[in-house]
Chains A and B, each alone.
Chain A
Amino acid sequence: MASASEGQQHPVKLYLQVWGWLFVFSFMSYLVDYNDLQGVWRWTLVLMFMMIKAALIVIFFMHMFWERLSLVYAILLPPLCLLVLVGFLAIEGEYITLLRDLYLGR
Chain B
Amino acid sequence: MANHASTERPQTREGAWQSLVDDWSSDRQAFKVSWGKAMMWIFLLSDTFVFSLLLIGYMAVRLTTPQPWPDTSEVFALTVLGHEFPLLLIAIMTFILITSSGTMAMAVNFGYARNRRMAALFILFTAILGASFVGLQAYEWTDLIQKGVRPWENPMGAPQFGSAFFMITGFHGLHVSIGVLYLLIVARKVLRGDYDRSGSYEPVEIAGLYWHFVDLVWVFIFAFFYLL
Contact = CB atoms under 8 A, between A and B. Distances in A.
Indicate whether A and B interact: yes
Nearest to A46: B227
A19 B63 contact: no
Contacts of B66: 100, 104, 106
A40 B12 CA distance: 62
A60 B209 CA distance: 11
B171 interface: no
B101 A61 contact: yes
Interface string A66-106: 01101100110011001001100110111011001000101
A41 to B, nearest CB: 12
A54 B216 contact: yes
Contact of A33 (B64, B73, B205): B73
Q: How big is the B interface, by class?
A: 35 or more
A23 B95 CA distance: 7
Nearest to A63: B205
Q: How big is the A interface, by class?
A: 35 or more
B196 interface: no
A86 B56 CA distance: 6
A97 B106 contact: no
Contacts of B174: none
A55 to B, nearest CB: 10
Contacts of A23: 95, 98
B31 A74 contact: yes
Interface in A34-62: 34, 36, 42-43, 46-47, 49-50, 53-54, 57-58, 60-62
B136 interface: no
A32 B227 contact: yes
B101 A19 contact: yes
Dominant secondary structure of chain A at its interface with chain B: helix
Most B CB within 10 A of own CB, among A7, A70, A78, A97? A7
A22 B98 contact: yes
Interface in B100-135: 101-102, 104-106, 108-109, 112-113
A93 B59 CA distance: 9
B91 A30 contact: yes
Given A50-B222, A71-B31, 15 more contacts: A7-B112, A7-B200, A15-B106, A18-B105, A26-B91, A26-B95, A29-B222, A30-B94, A46-B223, A57-B212, A67-B33, A75-B41, A93-B64, A94-B63, A96-B64
Interface of B: 30-33, 38, 41, 44-45, 48-49, 52-53, 56, 59-60, 63-64, 66, 73, 85-87, 91, 94-95, 98-99, 101-102, 104-106, 108-109, 112-113, 200-202, 205, 208-209, 212-213, 215-216, 219-220, 222-223, 226-228
17 contacts: A3-B112, A9-B109, A29-B227, A32-B227, A50-B222, A54-B220, A57-B212, A57-B215, A61-B101, A70-B30, A74-B31, A82-B49, A82-B56, A90-B63, A93-B64, A94-B63, A100-B64
